């Protein structure tokens, strides 16, 4: 879905022209002010469009700014009941509520509608999901075998470099593939643009630097300047995440890796293995770019031995 639309047709079925125009402005704000990535913007757009489409059917008229401002709790309960009847999972409904609330908060700041009932809406209670890393031996095996996936030497070197970067620096796949050649030559640290356009610096291990250098020596596409993508697809465009995901699927089959061995699992493995080696939790938070320490603390549940070690070292009663 486009951020601003193409000028024809409504982006919000069931909405009037004023609400549709506000929605276009909101998507533009998500992209340019909040720095939300395209998949995030698309998810917001789908959730809000579904909410407004329901209101059009529920109220029997096109929804507008006044409609959104006048919704009562009974209307919101009807929306949640509709989602439940349609089979939406709790996590999906929680995301939809968050998207709708963000839309309302933006509208209030922009001088549009307000509705305390919407902002007071509670998301369904979700089970606490734990990160699913892969073991150190599996991670090493994946990196060692990545170069065997492609017959073309530079593509094999590229696959090795990408996976080594994900595991060695704890990057999200989107962060890694967004890197440009302006980061070259690689030094001891790498500046990464993460969620919400927040920057962080991560150390670059020699193994990561060596893998990227090996890929660059073989890559046939050498021009393009500092804004050119660092990681390229077979035709010279920016490498797509689906290609990296497919590589991990092939490695799973080749090496018998667990089903959760994905590009993001390498990031989880980076954090879990650092924690197991004694790294400070707040340092890991900074390396991962987590806004909240609570998010990083999930890794202590993944590594209970490390958690017990910290307890034994820190608790006064545990000391002789």
Lowest model confidence (mean pLDDT) among 76-90, 146-160, 183-197, 273-287: 273-287
pLDDT in tens, 284-301: 887 887 777 777 777 666
| Residues paired with 199 in a beta bridge | 193
Model confidence at 275: pLDDT above 80? no
CATH number among 1.10.287, 1.10.10, 1.10.150, 2.60.40, domain 17-119: 1.10.150
Catalytic residue from among 24, 41, 267, 273? 267
The reply to whether 24 belongs to the active site is: no
The reply to whether 267 belongs to the active site is: yes
Catalytic residue from among 24, 41, 172, 273? 172
Phi first, then psi, for residue 180 (nearest 5°) are: -110, 170
Catalytic residue from among 83, 264, 268, 306? 264
Q: What is the DSSP letter of 126?
A: -
Of 319, 265, 303, 316, the closest CA to residue 138 belongs to: 265
Catalytic residue from among 44, 167, 215, 299? 299
* CA-to-CA separations, 197 to 35, 162, 177, 194, 285, in angstroms, rounded: 6, 21, 15, 5, 16
Q: What is the pLDDT of residue 82?
A: 93
Other CB atoms within 10 A of residue 136 CB: 14
Q: Where are the alpha helices (DSSP H) in the chain?
A: 17-32, 38-59, 65-70, 73-85, 90-109, 116-119, 136-145, 153-169, 173-177, 206-218, 241-255, 263-276, 281-288, 293-302, 304-314
* Count of residues in the chain: 320
Evaluated on CA atoms 93, 98, 101, 102, the torsion sign reads: negative
Catalytic residue from among 158, 268, 290, 306? 290
For the range 229-238, what are the long-range contacts, defined as Cβ-Cβ under 8 Å and sequence gap of 24 or more? 229/177, 229/179, 229/180, 229/181, 230/179, 230/180, 230/181, 230/183, 230/184, 231/158, 231/161, 231/162, 231/176, 231/177, 231/179, 232/158, 234/152, 234/155, 238/177
* CA-to-CA separations, 1 to 5, 46, 52, 79, in angstroms, rounded: 8, 9, 16, 23
pLDDT in tens, 152-201: 999 999 999 999 999 988 898 999 999 999 999 888 888 888 877 888 88
The reply to whether 264 belongs to the active site is: yes
Model confidence at 52: pLDDT above 90? yes
pLDDT in tens, 6-50: 444 567 877 888 999 999 999 999 988 888 878 888 999 999 999
Is residue 313 very low, low, confident or very high in pLDDT (cuts 50, 70, 90)?
Answer: low
- C-alpha 146/C-alpha 159 separation (Å) is 6
CATH number among 3.90.1150.220, 3.40.50.1980, 1.10.3130.10, 1.10.443.10, domain 136-314: 1.10.443.10
Do 132 and 268 meet the contact criterion of CB atoms below 8 Å apart? yes
Residue spans per domain, the chain? 17-119, 136-314
Mean pLDDT in residue range 62-78:
91
Residue found by looking up tokens 């073991």 in the block: 135
Do 158 and 231 meet the contact criterion of CB atoms below 8 Å apart? yes
The whole-angstrom distance between residue 148's C-alpha and the CA centroid of its chain comes to: 28
Instruction: Please report, to the nearest 10 degrees, the dihedral formed by the alpha carbons of residues 79, 81, 87, 90 taken in order.
Output: 80
Catalytic residue from among 34, 82, 101, 195? 195
The reply to whether 172 belongs to the active site is: yes
- C-alpha 236/C-alpha 213 separation (Å) is 18
The reply to whether 122 belongs to the active site is: no
């Amino acid at each position: 879905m486009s951020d601003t639309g193409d000028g024809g047709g409504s982006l919000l079925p069931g909405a009037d022209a004023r609400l549709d125009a506000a929605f276009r402005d909101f998507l533009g704000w998500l992209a340019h002010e909040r720095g939300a990535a395209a998949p995030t913007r698309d998810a917001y757009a789908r959730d809000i469009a579904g909410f407004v489409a329901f209101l059009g059917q529920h109220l029997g008229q096109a929804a507008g700014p006044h409609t959104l401002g006048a919704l009562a709790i009974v209307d919101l309960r009807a929306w949640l009941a509709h989602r439940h009847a349609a089979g939406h999972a709790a996590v999906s409904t929680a995301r939809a509520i968050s998207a709708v609330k963000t839309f309302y908060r933006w509208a209030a700041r922009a001088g549009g509608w307000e509705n305390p009932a919407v902002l007071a809406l509670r998301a369904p209670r979700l089970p606490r999901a734990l990160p699913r890393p892969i073991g150190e031996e599996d991670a090493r095996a994946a990196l060692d075998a990545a170069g065997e996936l492609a017959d073309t030497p530079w593509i094999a070197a590229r696959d090795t470099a990408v996976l080594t970067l994900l595991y060695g620096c704890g990057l999200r796949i989107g962060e890694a593939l967004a890197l440009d050649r302006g980061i070259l030559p690689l030094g001891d640290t790498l500046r990464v643009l993460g969620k919400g356009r927040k920057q962080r610096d991560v150390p670059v291990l020699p193994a990561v630097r060596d893998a990227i250098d090996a890929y660059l020596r073989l890559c046939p596409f050498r021009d393009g300047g500092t804004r050119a993508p660092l990681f390229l697809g077979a035709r010279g465009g920016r490498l797509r995440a689906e290609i990296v995901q497919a590589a991990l699927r092939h490695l799973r089959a080749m090496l018998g890796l667990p089903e959760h061995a994905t590009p993001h699992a390498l990031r989880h493995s980076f954090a879990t293995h650092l924690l197991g080696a004694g790294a400070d939790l707040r340092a890991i938070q900074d390396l991962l770019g987590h806004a909240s320490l609570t998010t990083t603390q999930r890794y202590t549940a993944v590594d209970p031995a490390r958690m017990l070690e910290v307890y034994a070292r820190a608790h006064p009663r545990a000391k002789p």
